[in-house]
Amino acid sequence: MLERYGHGGDLESAAKAYGREEGSFLDFSANINPLGPPEHVLKQLDGALSSIIRYPDPGHRQFKYILGQKLKIGEDNICVGNGAAECMSLILLGLDLQKVGIIEPCFSEYRQLSEQFNVEVYSIRGREDKDWKAAVEEIGELLQQVDLLFIGQPNNPNGVQYSLRELRILAEMAEQWQTYMVIDEAFIDFIAQQQQASLLSELEKYPRTILVRSMTKFYAIPGLRLGYTLAHPDVIRSMTGKQVTWSVNGLALLAGEAALHSGEEFERSTLELISNERVVLVQGLTNLGCEVSPGEANFLLVKLPAPWRSIDMQRELGMRGILIRSCAMYPGLGESHIRIAVKGTDANQVFLKEIQHVITKRI
């Protein structure tokens, strides 16, 4: 299994495992915008290399100003981090927590970070007949037992959202039980705005609800690391009080500022591509006997047909230059589950051709 560090996108491990150059793979194991970074971002970075001789702004002021204007939220409601993972770390460090709740299957960092900071983890399981979601009543019971709950929106690895009604009920429960609720919206930009279920515009009602978002997936800058948290100013102060000075580098901030100015055309092109190619991938995989979970993000949770195991499919496709994410390590899923990113038309066609060869044993 390639997920030595718990994530996809590990090209170095893949190169060693399959005897290929890192740049020769089609990487379906990392969920990055197939269009790549906006051209405006690349131009800004290219012209800013000389700025690395200067320290970055420790207050992230320009990025926060632009972000606040875009999201219509106050700058004192924003904490900028070195990726969404640092934001989650700062939440765990800044708040007085003993017990954290998670809904499995989910992003592995929820548990990993909590355990790194010696916080006890309680979990419940989503149900397959509910597209791997848990019932609101079950989540409510978990909220009563913990100090903080992580919930993916849309959830990784299945890409499913909880409804706005469900989120409001949970946010009200969190207030009642004095529990923090962290809603991980790292992939919500890949969902059309009118279909997004988010409490962003209602955060003032729910002081214990915290939103975490990523700039790296939608704007295709994972190597720079940039994310942010939206929350009550008291939460933000608790987080920034634990943040290492200059944890967010100057090029990441510049890329983020440029990305926020990339315009509606980039967003529209991305959503159109993802929507169209999801349909193609789902149909192609279904025709091969795979089961594809319903979802709305830029990735698919797939159950391989018997007798295939994810680790065997990962190896077979890896030898052919295609990387996929084994989901065998996700509690609640089985050995036959994989996750694949939705990529561009040409890459998706290559993937479908190669997985067909593997499943049907044609060379």
CATH of the domain at 290: 3.90.1150.10
Question: Model confidence at 5, in pLDDT bands (50, 70, 90)?
Answer: low
Q: Are 198 and 90 part of one and the same domain?
A: yes
How far separated are the first and last CA of the chain, in Å rounded? Answer: 23
d(CA 94, CA 111): 17
**260, 295, 316 — which closes off a domain?**
260
**260, 286, 305 — which closes off a domain?**
260
Report the CATH number at residue 216: 3.40.640.10
Which H or E element spans position 169?
A: helix 164-176
Given a cut of 90, whether residue 21 has pLDDT beyond it is no
**244, 260, 276 — which closes off a domain?**
260
Span 53-76, average pLDDT: 97
Q: What CA dihedral angle connects 297, 192, 167 and 201, to 10 degrees?
A: 140
Q: Are 225 and 298 part of one and the same domain?
A: no
Q: Are 229 and 302 part of one and the same domain?
A: no
| DSSP letters for 14-82 | HHHHHT--GGG-EE-SS---TT-S-HHHHHHHHTTGGGGGS---TT-HHHHHHHHHHHT--GGGEEEES
pLDDT reported for residue 266: 96
Q: Are 341 and 216 part of one and the same domain?
A: no
Given a cut of 60, whether residue 362 has pLDDT beyond it is no
Question: Model confidence at 15, in pLDDT bands (50, 70, 90)?
Answer: confident
Residue 290 per-residue DSSP state = -
Q: Exposure pattern of 157-183 as b/e (b: 16+ CB <10 Å)? A: bbbbbbeeebbbbbbebbeebebbbbb
Give how many domains the chain has, as a whole number: 2
CB 40 within 8 Å of CB 261? yes
Question: Model confidence at 289, in pLDDT bands (50, 70, 90)?
Answer: very high
**Residues in Cβ contact with 171 at an 8 Å cutoff, skipping those fewer than 6 apart:** 181, 199, 202, 205, 206, 208, 209
Given a cut of 80, whether residue 158 has pLDDT beyond it is yes
Distance of CA 156 to CAs 45, 105, 131, 207, 274, Å? Answer: 30, 8, 12, 25, 16
In a domain, 3, yes or no: no
φ and ψ at 199, to 5 degrees? -95, 15
The type of residue at 63 is F
Span 102-106, average pLDDT: 97
d(CA 63, CA 306): 49
d(CA 169, CA 88): 23
Distance of CA 297 to CAs 25, 26, 125, 317, Å? Answer: 22, 19, 21, 23
Higher pLDDT, 283 or 13: 283
Q: Are 185 and 239 part of one and the same domain?
A: yes
Mean pLDDT score of the chain: 94
Structural domain boundaries, residue 20: 11-30+264-360
Q: Are 211 and 336 part of one and the same domain?
A: no
Question: Model confidence at 274, in pLDDT bands (50, 70, 90)?
Answer: very high
pLDDT reported for residue 363: 44
Q: Are 243 and 180 part of one and the same domain?
A: yes
Span 73-95, average pLDDT: 97
